[in-house]
Amino acid sequence: MLPELSIVIPARDSAATIARAVADALRLAADVVVVDTGSSDDTAALAAAAGARVVDLAREASFAAARNAGAAAARGAWLLHLDSDETLAPGYLPVLQRAIAAGDFEVHELPQGNLRADGQRSLVTQRRLYRNHAGFRWVGLTCEWVYPLVPAGTLDLIIDKHDHDGQPSDEARAQRTDLMTTEVRALLHADLAAEADLGQVISRCRHLSLHGRARFDTTGLAQRAGEAFQRFCQQGETSDQPRLELARLHELRGDPARALVLYDGLPLATATASPTYLAHQAACIMAVTRNVDAALAAIDAAIARCPCALFLLTRGSILGVAGRAREAAVAVVEALRRLPALRHYRLGPG
């Protein structure tokens, strides 16, 4: 058990899974907070009976609001956010112990496994572990994420999502669709240049790039987002996040050439370089220029800061494209040694 850790679990109508989720969480942390967002079943009572502290929140609350409410109530020096239908893969304790003890990063990304409609498993990374009281907050109505975007570590630990039948319920899908629609409409009608909060601008653009790419391409939002990010730079935003987020948007839209222009010049060896963005930069370099040496320099800088399995896989892919099969195999084998469950997943949105 990790005494310095609190686990936050947002839940709504999760009676079928909440008791197990709390029991699993209590094996890892003494402080477990369940945020009940207006359940019509006995989710809250079951969570309390299982040993969690329960925070009640209005049913209309967004996913980000629920996570922020749980964080405000948590007592631990570190916070781990899980959903009521998620479990950590085996071997999680030493991974979390090392991350917390090292203190190299204030926030960590964890690979999350999702079961897709076609039965395949996909893997995406999400920022789920961070130091409490360090100024972090969740933003976004749905597809919520942690802001500010300080450099994050990536852990060799998979979060497995287990819905009742492998997929979200019809009600859950409808709720998420409604929130997505609300956020996309807000972005389509927003004056991004007048937005006061960089976190909200990035949140909206991240959401639209993932769920409304056709709208993004036809409404001029990419240009408007770029203008907004430029304004933040001119107003004294000291981080590289506006430029790097715009690069990520172009990357997700299938335009790695424009992304690479923005990635170009990103420092490779400084303490402020984000390992994740270095990995993105490496992938863009290969997609656009096939410059193996430059791509390896970027991914090796990421691995030097955070030697995780996902970055080793990226290194293997670069070497494979370059025809260096033996070196590629070494990188892939090392990735699977660090995180054997990777063999069951494919990378990308699920």
Three-state secondary structure of the chain: CCCCEEEEEEECCCCCCHHHHHHHHHCCCCEEEEEECCCCCCHHHHHHHHCCEEEECCCCCCHHHHHHHHHHHCCCCEEEECCCCEEECCCHHHHHHHHHHHCCCCEEEEEEEEECCCCCEEEEEEEEEEECCCCCEEECCCCCEEECCCCCEECCCCEEECCCCCCCCHHHHHHHHHHHHHHHHHHHHCCHHHCCCHHHHHHHHHHHHHHCHHHHHHCCHHHHHHHHHHHHHHCCCCCCHHHHHHHHHHHHCCCHHHHHHHHCCCCCCCCCCCHHHHHHHHHHHHHHCCCHHHHHHHHHHHHHHCCCHHHHHHHHHHHHHCCCHHHHHHHHHHHHHHCHHHHHCEECCC
Is residue 250 in some structural domain? no
Is residue 141 in a domain?
yes
Whether the CB-CB separation of 131 and 125 falls below 8 Å is answered with no
CATH, residue 335: 1.25.40.10
pLDDT for 295 equals 95
- Looking at the structure, tell me whether residues 143 and 18 fall in a common domain: yes
Co-location of 23 and 138 in the same domain: yes
Looking at the 3D structure of the chain, how many domains does it have? 2
Q: 260 and 142, same structural domain?
A: no
pLDDT at 220: 65
Residues 262, 147 within the same domain: no
Domain-embedded: residue 209: no
Residues 144 and 279 in one domain: no
For the chain, the distance separating the N- and C-terminal CA atoms, rounded to the nearest angstrom, is 31
- Report, as ranges of residue numbers, the positions in the chain whose pLDDT lies below 50: 164-167, 350
In the listed set 89, 116, 151, which residue is the last one of a domain according to the structure?
Answer: 151
Provide the pLDDT for residue 165.
44
Does a structural domain hold residue 185? Answer: no
Do 138 and 261 share a domain, yes or no?
A: no
Within-domain flag for 297 = yes
Q: What is the pLDDT of residue 62?
A: 81
> Are 10 and 145 members of one domain?
yes
Indicate whether 213 belongs to any domain. Answer: no
Q: How confident is the model at residue 90, as a pLDDT?
A: 85
Q: What are phi and psi of 290, to 5 degrees?
A: 55, 25
Q: Are 181 and 141 in contact (CB under 8 A)?
A: no
* Domain around 49: 5-102+126-151
- Is 266 part of a structural domain of the chain? yes
Q: In CATH, what number is assigned to the domain containing residue 50?
A: 3.90.550.10
Residue 193 lies in a domain: no
Query: What is the pTM for the complete model shown?
Result: 0.85
